[in-house]
Amino acid sequence: MAAAAALAVVPRGSEAVQTRTMVLDSASDFSSGTMDRTAVASDGSVVLGQDVTRVALDPAAGGVWSLYDAGDALYAGTAADGRVYRIVNNRAEHWANTGGVAVSSIVAGENNTLYAALVGSGNIVKLRGPENGRPRDGERFAALPGVEHVWSLVYDRARRTLFAATGPDGKLFAIDAQGRATVVFDADEPNLYSLALGANNTVYAGTGGGNAAVLYAVRGPSDARALARFAGNEVKSILVAGDVLYVAANEFSEGLSFPTSRSLLQTRTPSPGGTGGSRPRPGRGALYLVRASGVSERLYQSSDTHLTSLEWDAQRRVVFAGTGANGRVVSVGEDRTATIAFDVDETSVLSMSLSGRTRAFATGDTGAVYVVNASNAQRATWTSRVLDATQPARWGSVRWRGTGALDWEVRSGNSDPPDGTWSAWAPLREDGTVPDTSTRYLQIRARFSRDAATVLRAVTVYYLPTNQRPVLTEVTAASPSGESRSPTVRLNWKVENPDNDSLRYRVRYRGDGETTWRGLLRNSEYTTSTSTEWNVDGLPEGFYRVSVEASDEASNADGDALTDRRESEPVLIDTTAPTVTARIEGGRVVGDVRDGASSITRIEVSFDTHEWRPARAADGVFDEREERFEARTPSGLPAGEHTVAVRAYDEAGNMGVGSVVLRVAGATGQAAAGAARR
């Protein structure tokens, strides 16, 4: 049977690896699974449903757009060359042809003559049974002028008149016994989709295919009024139940199309709105109760599927609604209690006949008729949707709450949807636990086979996710700043923690070229923070590496804990400033800079505290621990003494300073110095 919309299962418990549960206890939880002869009520209970028999039609039959119960047989009109099938004792025969693209409606007129409405031709035909065992073509009864599609028929025995809802001009025709047609109402909308016959010669008509969903009450050519307007753009089905009406109205976000070719209608899923065009996404449907005054109230609404047809069950006092998605029939009581009464493999339920002698409904994407049996359902099951632990898990107990007796089965695997790699269905152990398995996905199935009064109200599945390793993605270290001469290195690391476990971090270091790791944290074995400060005061200068180990031991039992380790890039520990010596040689400032741990990266000079200007490396590049430098003295210095300051930086940013006194003589001395610089 077909699966339904996604199930919202929320694990209860923290995200750390410990036993968790998935609890299914609402109507949405249960309806997201699959019902096979079981029913899900809006109060969140699953009960034994009604047994059905699938009657397959000819593979070429296409969707079944219409059903009519004649008492002695059930007739099905299809979307494959307009074929009509007759079903007796759960066996179908190709009974008649119509020459149309699809049979949208079948009704009985005078002398129980069957009339069929056709899509794609605007004709209404009288059906004729087989002759010499071969299906016969229908006899054209009426050709409606300007009509491409006849969407619905009703027969008024009191007036001996057949009424037809048509498109694309939205006209209602009255057709007499001779097939003469008269327009009795012309709507503003492009189509009249649905019809129902009420009291006092009233015909109710619903619009579609445009921008409005309007219900009209028509009593004659000059006596029509809009009774109600609904959200959406089509009134798909109308039911008269005493002095009230039930109306199915739908809203579609995409425009409607009206292909009339036979090939399009045969290759596409028939639109439950009647257009024959494909709708990639289902619409939204609602069921309304409408009173004679036009006041309406919404009894049921679906946000994930439109409604295709309605049937009134006077004995049970419920309205049945077929859905255009999920392949379901929903029953709605007068107290607004909704129950998923039937759930089938096909995508859409297009037509229903649940109030006559033969109770049945029919499907769209694959044409089939389901006959509802009078006996209790056999082999009834409810199957959950695929339950996702998000990672491989050990599955534990399955506990349920309700009354009666259920037999539980499970299967598991690591793919969604299930495929051939999944385990076979198997019963739970005697203690109610899942057989040994460690998989990401699980499905559970309840069999309603021992007690017809069984009610399932809630089910809880226990599982223990497999522990996932924390992963360190980055370890960074900021060398101490030479300018502040701080003895502290700031360490930071990043970690991916898929289980949201409580993590502990052990931090160690070793010198470049050493093999022994030493603990870095003082007075503690580990930290729970993702950063720490490393006091390097007293460490020999040089390059070091830092190792961080992440462990989820605090959240997992012994033997289940996992760790990850990552090292930093080499970290330079250099807190000593370079030493600087400077002297004056021939109008130049020259000197030497030395550092014990790292290379010299930059040397600058300043004359009399003016701007700092870069000096030149004697060998062209500052890249060694010992460097000789030189810088020209500025021209035009006045006679006298001048202070030359020198500052040098190493790789760690430490700065060393030095100075020398430059003595400038009188004009002769200045000229000599200038000559020397040249």
The whole model's pTM is what?
0.70
- What φ, ψ does residue 674 adopt, rounded to 5°? -65, -40
Give the whole-angstrom CA distance, residue 401 versus residue 450: 16
Domain at 471-573, CATH homologous superfamily:
Immunoglobulins (2.60.40.10)
Amino acid 481: pLDDT: 54
Picking from 377-391, 394-408, 416-430, which range would have the lowest pLDDT averaged per residue? 377-391
- What φ, ψ does residue 257 adopt, rounded to 5°? -120, 160
Domains 63-308 and 471-573 share a fold: no
CATH of domain 579-677: 2.60.40.650
pLDDT digits (tens, 9 = 90+) for 78-100: 987 899 999 999 999 999 999 88
pLDDT digits (tens, 9 = 90+) for 494-519: 999 998 999 999 999 999 889 999 99
- What φ, ψ does residue 566 adopt, rounded to 5°? -150, 145
Q: In which region does residue 364 sit, left (phi positive, over 0), alpha (psi from -120 to 50) or beta (all else)?
A: alpha
Residue 363 has pLDDT above 60, yes or no: yes
Residue 136 has pLDDT above 70, yes or no: yes
Give the whole-angstrom CA distance, residue 392 versus residue 180: 71
Residue 382 has pLDDT above 90, yes or no: yes
Amino acid 673: pLDDT: 36
- Which two structure tokens, joined as six digits, stand for 325? 């998605």
Do the Cβ atoms of 536 and 573 come closer than 8 Å?
yes
Amino acid 452: pLDDT: 85
- Label residue 660 by pLDDT band (50, 70, 90): very high
Give the CATH architecture of domain 63-308. Answer: 6 Propeller (2.120)
Collapsed DSSP state (helix, strand, coil) of residue 167: strand
- Label residue 18 by pLDDT band (50, 70, 90): confident
Residue 197: half-sphere exposure toward Cβ, Cα within 13 Å: 16
> Which sequence spans correspond to the domains of the chain?
20-34+387-465, 63-308, 471-573, 579-677
- Label residue 22 by pLDDT band (50, 70, 90): very high
Do the Cβ atoms of 490 and 478 come closer than 8 Å?
yes
What is the average pLDDT across 601-628?
A: 93
Q: In which region does residue 19 sit, left (phi positive, over 0), alpha (psi from -120 to 50) or beta (all else)?
A: beta
- What φ, ψ does residue 642 adopt, rounded to 5°? -130, 140
CA 316 to chain centre: 37
Residue 258 has pLDDT above 70, yes or no: no
